[in-house]
Amino acid sequence: SSPLIGSPVATSDVLTSGSRWVSFDVTNTVRNWLLQPSSNNGFAVAANLSTPAVLFLDSKENTATSQPAVLDI
């Protein structure tokens, strides 16, 4: 079974236009994962429940843009 989605690590204002980068500082979360690896359940991307959203994520597999995901540690 999947873990429940916990408290937000980071949030962003509502984005109303496409082709924008959004970045989040997840340093403390990753540090905690290193200290307690069993707490690493990954990240969930979710819309605010009161404001449903359509989300398009670009990825390296997109042959038109090829934007690889990056995690700087």
The alpha carbons of the chain give a radius of gyration, in whole angstroms, of: 14
Residue 25: pLDDT band with limits 50, 70, 90: confident
d(CA 17, CA 36): 38
Residues 6+ apart with CB under 8 A from 30: 71, 73
d(CA 20, CA 36): 33
- Note the pLDDT of residue 3: 67
Longest dimension (CA), the chain: 39
Overall pTM surpassing 0.75 (yes/no): no
Question: Containing H/E element for 31?
Answer: helix 27-35
Residue 37: pLDDT band with limits 50, 70, 90: very high
